[in-house]
């Protein structure tokens, strides 16, 4: 399993410059071809090219909107999964109070370490340190298996009218949900990405649209460098935003994991108080 995507190997700044150069190149290519056909062009042909240019730019705008929406959905999914995992881990931590010792202390220590590793994974992903991330993911899965064994093997104290079996089922459910949300977060980071074919179609449409823009300018015999560069920068900026939103190791955007940090702090405070007691 890998977080790698074919665009992930390129830094955003370098990718931004490369896209601008690519688009400007196709505009220049189209312009030169248009100038070469300037003498043979007629007014009707120029109008036709202008109509085609509008259609290709409109199609490009549609593809950009489509991919931006997909990337935004992937980003929101990662945020929702993080919030849900914090909720489930907090519930499991509370449900552990019904466990007999030493199971109670062991479970709470495991959950505290689990959340610590989750925060560390977020930091390592931003630094693009994939081998260390994968090692922590394997460790998290080992802890999940231990929590599962503890949930099935430990007894419960009878402290109120609620049946011990019912309380056991609640804790088992919390552990099961923790395992499920882990798999969902892993899927969102590794597999829930914009497909390569969509990226190729987007780049192809962008280059063809710029080619037509340059060709139309060539048929008129004049062009505006300011307008040309401005247009390529705008399109390139939107494509970079889409790229960053789709990446787990985002640079321009940030997932606020304060909820997870607060949960980690509360767990540590309770464990510290229990140790003092």
Inform me whether the pLDDT recorded for 230 exceeds 50.
yes
Q: Is residue 149 part of a domain?
A: yes
Q: Is residue 17 part of a domain?
A: no
pLDDT at 10: 85
Tens digits of per-residue pLDDT, 66-82? 999 999 999 999 999 99
pLDDT at 1: 47
Sign of CA dihedral 145, 149, 152, 156: negative
Alpha carbon distance 203, 209 (integer Å): 10
* Domain region containing 204: 29-276
Tens digits of per-residue pLDDT, 21-40? 999 999 999 998 888 877 76
Residue 274 pLDDT grade (very low, low, confident, very high; cuts 50, 70, 90): low
pLDDT at 276: 52
Residue 168 pLDDT grade (very low, low, confident, very high; cuts 50, 70, 90): low
Inform me whether the pLDDT recorded for 160 exceeds 80.
no
Tens digits of per-residue pLDDT, 196-211? 899 999 999 999 999 9
Higher pLDDT, 94 or 155: 94
Q: Is residue 69 part of a domain?
A: yes
Q: Is residue 136 part of a domain?
A: yes
Inform me whether the pLDDT recorded for 3 exceeds 80.
no
Q: Is residue 14 part of a domain?
A: no
Q: Is residue 267 part of a domain?
A: yes
Share of the chain above pLDDT 90, in %: 45
pLDDT at 34: 86
Tens digits of per-residue pLDDT, 85-105? 999 999 999 888 877 778 788
Number of structural domains (the chain) is 1
Inform me whether the pLDDT recorded for 115 exceeds 50.
yes
Q: Is residue 5 part of a domain?
A: no
Q: Is residue 108 part of a domain?
A: yes
């Amino acid at each position: 399993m890998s977080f790698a995507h074919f665009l992930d190997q390129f830094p955003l700044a370098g990718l931004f410059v490369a896209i601008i150069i690519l688009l400007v190149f196709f505009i220049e290519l189209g312009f030169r071809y248009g100038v070469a056909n300037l003498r043979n062009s007629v007014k009707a042909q120029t109008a036709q090219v202008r109509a085609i240019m509008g259609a290709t730019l409109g199609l490009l705008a549609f593809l950009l909107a489509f991919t931006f929406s997909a990337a935004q959905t992937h980003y929101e999914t990662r945020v929702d999964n993080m919030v849900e995992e914090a909720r489930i881990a907090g519930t499991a931590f509370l449900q552990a109070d019904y466990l007999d010792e030493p199971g109670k202390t062991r479970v709470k220590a495991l959950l505290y370490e689990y959340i610590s590793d989750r925060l560390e994974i977020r930091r390592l992903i931003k630094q693009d340190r994939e081998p260390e991330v994968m090692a922590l993911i394997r460790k998290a899965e080992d802890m999940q298996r231990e929590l599962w064994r503890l949930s099935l093997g430990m007894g419960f104290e009878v402290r109120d009218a609620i049946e011990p079996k019912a309380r056991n089922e609640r804790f088992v459910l919390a552990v099961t949900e923790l395992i499920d949300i882990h798999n969902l977060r892993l899927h969102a980071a590794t597999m829930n990405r914009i497909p390569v074919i969509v990226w190729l179609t987007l780049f192809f449409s962008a280059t063809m649209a710029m080619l037509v823009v340059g060709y139309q300018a060539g048929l008129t015999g004049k062009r505006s460098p300011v307008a040309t560069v401005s247009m390529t920068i705008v399109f390139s900026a939107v494509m970079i935003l889409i790229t960053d939103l789709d990446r787990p190791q985002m640079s321009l955007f940030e997932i606020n994991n304060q909820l997870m940090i607060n949960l980690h702090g509360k767990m540590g405070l309770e464990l510290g108080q229990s140790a003092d007691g």
